[in-house]
Structure 1
Amino acid sequence: MALSLVHFPSEVWNHIFQYLSAADKFSVRASCRYFRKLIDHWSLWKNWTIVLSFKNGPYNSEFWDSLRRRKVSSVVMRNTKTKDWSRLSLALPTLTTVIMDQNSNGNLNFIQDFSHLNRLAIRSSAVLLDLHTQTQLQHLTHLSMCNVLFPNKSNWSFLNLLPFLSSLTSVVCHNTNSFGQRDRMVDTLVSILPKLKHLSLSAKYISPQRDGSIFKPVTSLSSLELIDCLDHSSPEDVGQMISGLKCLRVFFKHSHQGRPEALSASVIYLKTWLSESAQLSNLTVVKGPPVRMYATSIPATITNLTLCVSGLSPRDMAAVAQQVPDLLHLHIDAWPSHLGAHTARIPELFPKLRSLKLRQDHVPEKDFLRLQQLQDLECLEILDRGHWSDLYKKLQTLTRNRLRVVTSSPQRDAFHCPCVSQVY
């Protein structure tokens, strides 16, 4: 490499490297010792998560040194043993996020070695709880559990721990045996966790009321996710507890296209929840009934809308547009069907959009280019990652380069549960 290039100011190289993907950074890092030092600058690795597995033995000191230079704060630990956690705590004691993945019959004693830890995710693991667990979890603000088994030999249950987790602002619980069949978990969690703002639960944990009691309104929650909703497992009464919600995401287990027997209950539940959420600004619906069956219940306060619903028709889009005149952000995915030429109607239906996510496949060029009419559009993300670079450049030219077109998958926060990552 020419000496004149090598001796560019480090700030110049740092600015250039910011445009590289993680894979490209590693390639540049391997090219020479000078770049290896520059690439490891912490500013280039913000919000980056490393996946560690000790199946081939411990990592060397040079590896840990590079992670410390990058100020890595988030780690996925996969198939690890107790001694591996000890090595991690010695090497990276300032971690703030840990994702424990695919561990069997482990405990959470390792948490005591990470005094800065505030986000913990446990996935596809079996975890033993004991008396010491309560003190180790007290400082957590985010807890995520997916496919977690708490063996019966545990002396404590997850519900026993809840009173000690008063700092939690976000709880995710998908497909675990944490709760009993009759537990009303939204009620229980919010009453015990005073700071809770975001809650994501499998719908099977939302039990219908059986004793005739009335749900107390839940005013602290601002974000609620319900996954794997079925027509028989999604109680209408949830709406009475979430009147203050700003964000609601509903993930149905199935698409109800062609399943009339499932439509009635699902439509009733969804319409009730929407009508009870007068402050809602962010709505996501994945699968479930046809959009036109609940479109009239969508609040006019919605500014951010995600619809991942197969068979999305022009009639559906028109019905939604009438309800949300101030929509700013739209993520629309009709896969395995497609919008096709109907994409051209988006500027007419949603004229105030600032960001748009959609699939480009099966959209004629002339209809795709009609998106230039969205005068406030700043970002267009192509979900099917097409290779139509000339078409995208043409659209950008028509907008005088005001529009940014994203065709690569954005970096996803590893802490987000895979169950819902499709909408992040």
Structure 2
Amino acid sequence: MSVHQLPGEVWIQVLGYLCVADKHSVRATCIDFRELVDCGLLWKDWTIVLAFPKASYNSPFWEMLRRRKINKVVVRSTRAKDWRQLARCLPSITTVVMERSSQEILDVLKNFTHLKHLAVRCSCTSLLLTASAVHKAERLTHLSICRVQFPSKSIEHLISAFIDFRNLTSLVCHDTELNEECTMTTYLILGCLPRLKHLSLTCGRNVQAVLRHTTPLPVKEAHALSSLELIHCDHSLPQDAMKLLPNLQRLVLIYKYSDKDFVADIWFAAMREDLKAWLSALHRLSTLVIKLGPHVNRYVPNLIHLHIDPWPSCLGTITAEIPQLFPKLQSLKIRGKHVPEEDFLGFQKMADLRYVEMLDSRPQFSEMAAKLQVLTKYRVQVIDSHQRDILDCDCSL
């Protein structure tokens, strides 16, 4: 059968069902299939990882990426010449992840004229990140900084740099020396970035003092934020902290323990009460993620996505409370360890539930999953935990 006996759009539809390896096998058969497989529609939102081996990449490789319209790249090279080649061969790149960062590489970023999303990770030396590092600071909408050193330890210095990226809608700042000083004070960041919708911070020692700062947060800026992540949140926030963020729809809390005996006897009980207070203030909350923290014992009627992995790492009999606390859940991500079968099957009570994602596996899990699917007439899909997005850092794992 000739390739031309079917319209190209039909072949694209068929090829879309193939895995990457099978696509490449088909591509190797003839020129016509090579052109079909390299169609940009088959590689939409695809991210490529470039390590730049000693042999480097040849012209046909870059031409293939251009035909596929690849514009998201994770780079694992620290050689400036590799970055210059990337900018020259893929001029339409909009997303760049620098897995190993240096000042020399930062100086090459201005060659990426369409850059919108930038992630800077793992620097061994201090980096000077300013608006002049990119072609157009106002074009940048997503900025992620992880395990990066800065020449100044002043929080005001970095905040002043953020001001130049005035169109940021997403800011991630993890494991920097600055976090230990004052946890990237939420009210300062929102004050200088009025369009910010997503904020993810690694909390330091002073997070409680920061959020209890007497300077009020401007209402207009606070209303823009819809997603907040606090990582290593091992100190209690004030119970009225979330009142500053009335439009928050997504809350991620990842805790870190330094003294488990203290946690069990004093801190853990206090955190449960704080969590109840936060949730009571977040009337628009639709997504909640809690890792290594207290279980939720607050009724949240409008929550539709829940990921709960408490400390200790088992839900046990707490599972039975989930249908009553979150009646409108559509997706649930839990760890199955010590979850009684009766309580697991009780998820059928949630009429809107569509997905249950398991963070672990156990011998009798497949049998329990099959029973739940039968009880819900296959409305609920039970799936294994997904792999993380390669564009995300691993701080929240």
Normalising by the residue count of structure 1, what TM-score does the alignment of the two structures yield?
0.80
How far is 1:351 from its partner?
2.9
Q: Deviations over 1:66-113 (max 9, x none)?
A: 000000010011123222221111111111101011123435332322
How far is 1:130 from its partner?
5.4
Unaligned runs of 5+ in 2: none
Per the alignment, residue 350 of structure 2 pairs with 350
Per the alignment, residue 95 of structure 1 pairs with 93
How far is 1:221 from its partner?
0.7
**How is 1:349-368 mapped onto 2 (pairs within 5 angstroms)?**
349-358=349-358, 359=360, 361-363=362-364, 367-368=368-369
Q: Deviations over 1:356-402 (max 9, x none)?
A: 2125533366533322222582643223xxxxxxxxxxxxxxxxxxx
User: Following the alignment from structure 2 to structure 1, what is the Cα–Cα distance between the partners of residues 284 and 276?
Assistant: 15
Matched, 1:244 2:247: yes
Alignment: residue pair count:
383
Per the alignment, residue 171 of structure 1 pairs with 171
User: Following the alignment from structure 1 to structure 2, what is the Cα–Cα distance between the partners of residues 135 and 37?
Assistant: 33
Matched, 1:222 2:230: no
Residues 159 and 189, structure 2, Cα contact 8 Å, conserved in 1: no
User: Following the alignment from structure 2 to structure 1, what is the Cα–Cα distance between the partners of residues 101 and 15?
Assistant: 36
**How is 1:60-75 mapped onto 2 (pairs within 5 angstroms)?**
60-75=58-73
Residues 111 and 137, structure 1, Cα contact 8 Å, conserved in 2: no
How far is 1:273 from its partner?
1.8
**Residue 162 of structure 1: SS of its match in structure 2?**
helix
CA 1:25–1:298 in structure 2 vs 1: closer, same or farther (change >3 Å)? farther
Residue identity (%): 35
CA 1:346–1:106 in structure 2 vs 1: closer, same or farther (change >3 Å)? farther
How far is 1:50 from its partner?
0.8
User: Following the alignment from structure 1 to structure 2, what is the Cα–Cα distance between the partners of residues 27 and 157?
Assistant: 52
**How is 1:65-214 mapped onto 2 (pairs within 5 angstroms)?**
65-125=63-123, 126=125, 127-129=127-129, 132-133=132-133, 136-152=136-152, 157-179=157-179, 181-182=181-182, 185-204=185-204, 207-209=207-209, 213=214
How far is 1:321 from its partner?
1.8
How far is 1:214 from its partner?
5.6
Q: Deviations over 1:179-204 (max 9, x none)?
A: 57136521111111010011111122
User: Following the alignment from structure 1 to structure 2, what is the Cα–Cα distance between the partners of residues 170 and 298?
Assistant: 29
Residues 227 and 250, structure 1, Cα contact 8 Å, conserved in 2: yes
2:78 counterpart letter in structure 1: T
Per the alignment, residue 394 of structure 2 pairs with 418
CA 1:319–1:76 in structure 2 vs 1: closer, same or farther (change >3 Å)? same
Normalising by the residue count of structure 2, what TM-score does the alignment of the two structures yield?
0.85
Residues 179 and 204, structure 2, Cα contact 8 Å, conserved in 1: no
CA 1:255–1:318 in structure 2 vs 1: closer, same or farther (change >3 Å)? farther
How far is 1:281 from its partner?
1.1
Per the alignment, residue 278 of structure 1 pairs with 283
User: Following the alignment from structure 1 to structure 2, what is the Cα–Cα distance between the partners of residues 381 and 118?
Assistant: 33
**Residue 346 of structure 2: SS of its match in structure 1?**
helix
User: Following the alignment from structure 1 to structure 2, what is the Cα–Cα distance between the partners of residues 205 and 135?
Assistant: 36
CA 1:346–1:148 in structure 2 vs 1: closer, same or farther (change >3 Å)? farther
1:248 counterpart letter in structure 2: L
Per the alignment, residue 394 of structure 1 pairs with none
User: Following the alignment from structure 2 to structure 1, what is the Cα–Cα distance between the partners of residues 274 and 175?
Assistant: 21
**How is 1:283-302 mapped onto 2 (pairs within 5 angstroms)?**
283-289=288-294, 291=295, 294-295=296-297, 297-302=298-303
**Residue 221 of structure 1: SS of its match in structure 2?**
coil
Unaligned runs of 5+ in 1: 384-408
How far is 1:6 from its partner?
4.5
How far is 1:255 from its partner?
11
**Residue 208 of structure 1: SS of its match in structure 2?**
helix
RMSD over equivalenced CA pairs, Å: 3.0
User: Following the alignment from structure 1 to structure 2, what is the Cα–Cα distance between the partners of residues 257 and 153?
Assistant: 31
Residues 143 and 170, structure 1, Cα contact 8 Å, conserved in 2: yes
Of 328, 332, 342, which residue of structure 1 is paired with 2:334? Answer: 332
Residues 249 and 284, structure 2, Cα contact 8 Å, conserved in 1: yes
User: Following the alignment from structure 1 to structure 2, what is the Cα–Cα distance between the partners of residues 13 and 178?
Assistant: 52
**Which structure shows the bigger proportion of residues in strand conformation?**
1
User: Following the alignment from structure 2 to structure 1, what is the Cα–Cα distance between the partners of residues 31 and 68?
Assistant: 16
